[in-house]
């Protein structure tokens, strides 16, 4: 069993590694070696604690800096980590597959990764013989909407006759299942697992791609990787490099302030030639669209109040939260400003607990508000009743596809930096993105939601917040309230 002292040791090793490199340019390889030893421990608790230090304190920080030097450091330290894992008795399959791709050493992996970093025209890939394109998921829902969907839309244009397969999580079908051009192939990625588990996901990716491309000639398929965690950001190969497109999202045009969705579109111009800008897109299944439309119709049946959807999910990253007071005040302010609020309860016990606390606190602040709770089971009954026509707060719990349908019928979406704001922006819904807990200013620029409607990003540095920065929260409340009042006035005078 891992002691508190050992847990602190893993975080200290990660911290010292980054500090040494940033301050002195010294690469502490022994620290990575010790972290790898912890991560390969037979003690599951120890292995997961070390893996959290590796991925949260090292990998994610480097990726979120969007800096070329961080990419170089990532390639070096992760290649070292992989080399140590493949030498372990439980890493035999990883070692075998890396040897298949002639990556027999740590340096060979680094050399290949450095080659992939250059963005050169690949017009040679445009061939009428391409029958299949496999697009790898970015694993997280928001990134799939913001980036992966841009790849899908552009590749559909360039290769109008090719089949397109999206390899990734089950939520992909919820958000893109309405696209007849797509097929879906579910691949799990154990984000909370130990390091060896996460690396082993790559074997599943290889098996999936080999199955999909079986019987095809080499020039009849392409693999598109939008910087996916499934390949550990391109370090683990999934096809011969001449059939592999890798988007270097962490460093492409690193000095620009453009969001990742726009950068992905521009990079595809570099690869295949200029085209009209490609925006993120969500393609929901018709049943969810119809249900979302019916809910919105019932909510607006007896009045012209705007509908605002809110999600306070943060993907297990507590630093992205502002706090209880902000959350309950925001909901109460919107309802007081004549809006109808749809509050998503989120996923997991913690998110559900926090959403329920918001509801209870709002009821205490406004005892006369009318609340209805709906989910997948009682949705039809709720629609058939009259309760939904006289309501102030709708509490929703259900699938991401149905949540997306509700967002798409809303007049405004408000949420922390997570999946919802990317869905809203892609669907053309005005969006307020409360960005907190960012580890670098560039994150705010890169992860700005992109779509055909207005997006307002309000950033609050919860890690080092000053009183003035915290005061921006009142601006969020005022903005939401003003929007609700404006919308109501416009409808009353139309």
Structural domains of the chain in order of their starting residue, each with its CATH number: 4-116 (no CATH), 123-272 (3.40.50), 286-492 (3.40.50.2000)
- What is the arithmetic mean of pLDDT over 174-178? 95
Report pLDDT for 494.
38
Handedness of CA 311, 316, 319, 320 (dihedral sign): negative
Report pLDDT for 440.
84
Which range scores top for mean pLDDT: 2-16, 99-113, 292-306?
Answer: 99-113
Q: Over pLDDT 70: what percentage of the chain?
A: 90
Between 61-75, 165-179, 340-354, 375-389, the lowest mean confidence (pLDDT) is in 375-389
CA atoms of 489 and 109, how far apart (whole Å): 61
pLDDT tens column, 346-386 = 888 889 999 999 999 999 988 999 999 999 888 888 887 77
Predicted confidence band at 479 (pLDDT cuts at 50, 70, 90)? Answer: low
Between 121-130, 141-150, 161-170, 384-393, the lowest mean confidence (pLDDT) is in 121-130
Predicted confidence band at 491 (pLDDT cuts at 50, 70, 90)? Answer: low
CA atoms of 46 and 34, how far apart (whole Å): 12
Long-range CB contacts (< 8 A, 24+ apart) of 14-23? Answer: 14/53, 14/54, 14/57, 14/58, 15/57, 17/58, 17/77, 18/57, 18/58, 18/61, 21/73
- What is the arithmetic mean of pLDDT over 172-176? 93
In the structure encoding, which two tokens stand for residue 24, read together? 């002195």
Predicted confidence band at 485 (pLDDT cuts at 50, 70, 90)? Answer: low
Mean pLDDT of the residues in the chain = 88
Predicted confidence band at 466 (pLDDT cuts at 50, 70, 90)? Answer: low
Going across the sheet that includes 393-397, the strands are 371-375, 393-397, 340-344, 307-311, 412-416, 431-436, 455-460
Cα–Cα distances in angstroms (integers) from residue 91 to residues 45, 87, 98, 203, in the given order: 19, 6, 11, 11
Report pLDDT for 426.
97
Q: Over pLDDT 90: what percentage of the chain?
A: 63
Model pTM above 0.75: yes
Predicted confidence band at 92 (pLDDT cuts at 50, 70, 90)? Answer: very high
Residue 450 has pLDDT above 90, yes or no: yes
Report pLDDT for 360.
93
Residue 276 has pLDDT above 60, yes or no: yes
Predicted confidence band at 489 (pLDDT cuts at 50, 70, 90)? Answer: low
Report pLDDT for 493.
41
Predicted confidence band at 273 (pLDDT cuts at 50, 70, 90)? Answer: confident
Report pLDDT for 469.
56
pLDDT tens column, 306-342 = 999 999 988 778 888 888 888 888 899 889 888 999 9
- What is the arithmetic mean of pLDDT over 268-293? 93
CA atoms of 26 and 97, how far apart (whole Å): 32
Q: Are strands 221-225 and 244-246 parallel, antiparallel or unpaired?
A: parallel
Residue 1 has pLDDT above 70, yes or no: no
């Amino acid at each position: 069993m891992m002691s508190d002292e050992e847990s602190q040791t893993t975080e200290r090793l990660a911290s010292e590694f980054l500090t040494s490199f940033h301050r002195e340019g010294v690469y502490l390889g022994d620290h990575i070696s010790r972290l790898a030893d912890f991560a390969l421990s037979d003690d599951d608790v120890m292995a997961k604690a070390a893996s959290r230090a590796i991925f949260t304190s090292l990998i994610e920080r480097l990726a979120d800096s969007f800096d070329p030097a961080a990419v170089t450091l990532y390639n070096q330290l992760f290649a070292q980590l992989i080399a140590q894992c493949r030498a372990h008795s439980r890493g035999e399959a990883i070692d075998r597959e890396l040897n298949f791709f002639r990556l027999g050493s740590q340096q060979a992996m680094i050399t290949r990764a450095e080659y992939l970093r250059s963005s050169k025209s690949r017009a040679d890939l445009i061939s009428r013989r391409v029958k299949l394109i496999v697009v790898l998921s970015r694993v997280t829902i928001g990134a799939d909407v913001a980036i992966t969907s841009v790849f899908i839309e552009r590749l559909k244009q360039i290769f109008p006759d090719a089949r397109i397969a999206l390899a990734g999580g089950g939520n992909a079908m919820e958000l893109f299942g309405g696209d007849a051009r797509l097929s879906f192939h579910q691949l799990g990625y154990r984000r909370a697992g130990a390091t060896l588990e996460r690396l082993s996901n790559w074997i599943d990716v290889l098996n999936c791609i080999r199955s999909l491309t079986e019987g095809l000639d080499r020039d009849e398929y392409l693999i598109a990787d939008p910087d996916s965690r499934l390949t550990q950001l391109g370090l683990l190969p999934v096809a011969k490099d001449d059939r592999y497109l890798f988007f270097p999202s962490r460093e492409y045009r690193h000095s620009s302030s453009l969001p990742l969705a726009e950068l992905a579109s521009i990079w595809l111009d570099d690869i295949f030639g200029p085209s009209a800008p490609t925006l993120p897109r969500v393609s929901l299944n018709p049943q969810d669209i119809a249900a979302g439309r019916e809910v919105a119709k019932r909510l607006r049946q007896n009045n012209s109040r705007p509908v605002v959807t809110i999600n306070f999910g943060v993907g297990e990253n507590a630093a992205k939260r502002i706090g209880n007071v902000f959350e309950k005040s925001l909901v109460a302010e919107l309802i007081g400003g004549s809006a109808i609020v749809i509050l998503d309860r989120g996923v997991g016990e913690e998110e559900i607990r926090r959403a329920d606390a918001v509801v209870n606190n709002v009821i205490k602040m406004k005892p006369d508000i009318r609340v209805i709770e709906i989910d997948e089971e009682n949705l039809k009954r709720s629609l058939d009743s009259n309760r939904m026509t006289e309501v102030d707060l709708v509490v929703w719990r259900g699938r991401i596809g149905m949540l997306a349908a509700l967002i798409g019928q809303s007049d405004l979406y408000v949420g922390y930096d997570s999946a919802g704001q990317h869905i809203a922006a892609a669907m053309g819904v005005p969006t307020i993105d409360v960005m907190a807990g960012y580890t670098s200013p560039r994150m705010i620029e890169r992860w700005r939601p992109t779509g055909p409607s207005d997006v307002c990003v309000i950033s609050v540095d919860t890690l080092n917040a000053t009183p003035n920065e915290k005061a921006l929260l009142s601006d969020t409340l005022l903005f939401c309230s003003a929007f609700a009042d404006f919308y109501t006035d416009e409808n009353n005078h139309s």
